[in-house]
Amino acid sequence: MRSAITFAAAVTLAMTTGCLLPEAKPPKMAAVATGEPLAVVDDVKVWTTTTKEKVGEAVVKDENGNKIGSVESYQDKTTVHSMKVWYPFQGNEQLSDEEFFKIANEQRALDETAKMHANAESWNHRGKVTAIVGGIAMVSGFILGYAAPDVPVAAPLLEIGGGLGLSVGYSMAWYGARQMQPEVHAVDRSIAERAAGQYNQNLGHTAGISMSRSF
């Protein structure tokens, strides 16, 4: 029990200090117009996930040959995922959406992007608070169950409720952080491409520059 309390307390401390919770990193805002053309660059994001897959089952029998159970065998299965994404560029420099639409003077898209990122930061912050409170409640349940075993209801309620809060809070924080990733956009690709085309026309460059890259 002491080890369980110590582990739960360590997890909560890590949560409290932000070590384990996803961080919604704000977009960079330093880029300015350089006279280079704007472009929308297409890419393919590739990532893998690993799950356990059942590959067999062995029957366990007693000395008389009667089945008394079974043992399942699992192995790791790696799945490759891919997703088409796009990024805004000025010349050879990748921009944040805020930088791109500010340079292109596309105010509506800039407002939508700022709104999405503000909402993402809010989700991330609320998630962190929920996770930390849930973690504290869970640890309190462990401690109460150890220190006051004659209180049979309160401790499990704190443990279950705290664990649920920890899980929900982490999911909220992850969602907020996910919405801040550069491949997540508040507006459609066509809006960015049109904004780039109009900006480049004003510069005297070819309109509607669109590029692709792969890794």
Q: What pLDDT is attached to residue 206? A: 54
Q: What is the pLDDT of residues 130-168, one digit of tens each?
A: 998 988 888 888 787 777 777 667 788 888 888 899 889
164, part of any domain? yes
48, part of any domain? no
Confidence at 36, pLDDT banded by 50, 70, 90:
very high
13, part of any domain? yes
79, part of any domain? no
The CB-side HSE value for 215 (13 A sphere, CA atoms) comes to: 10
Residue from 1, 16, 2 nearest 135 by CA = 16
Phi and psi angles of residue 67, each rounded to the nearest 5 degrees, phi first = -70, 125
- Structure tokens that stand for 186 in this block: 């508040």
pTM for this model (two decimals): 0.73
User: What range defines the domain where residue 156 resides?
Assistant: 2-43+87-212
Question: DSSP E strands: which ranges in the chain?
Answer: 38-61, 67-90, 93-94, 210-212
Measure the CA–CA gap between 142 and 8, rounded to whole angstroms. Answer: 8
Using an 8 Å Cβ cutoff, are 88 and 97 in contact? yes
The tally of domains found in the chain comes to 1
Q: What is the pLDDT of residues 49-76, one digit of tens each?
A: 898 888 888 888 888 878 888 888 888 8
Report the first-to-last Cα separation within the chain, whole angstroms: 49
The CB-side HSE value for 179 (13 A sphere, CA atoms) comes to: 21
The CB-side HSE value for 135 (13 A sphere, CA atoms) comes to: 23
74, part of any domain? no
Q: What pLDDT is attached to residue 123? A: 95
142, part of any domain? yes
149, part of any domain? yes
Instruction: Pick 47 or 212 by higher pLDDT.
Output: 47
Q: What is the pLDDT of residues 70-117, one digit of tens each?
A: 888 888 889 999 999 999 999 999 999 999 999 999 999 999 999 999
Using an 8 Å Cβ cutoff, are 52 and 77 in contact? yes
Round the average pLDDT of the chain to a whole number and report it.
Answer: 84
52, part of any domain? no
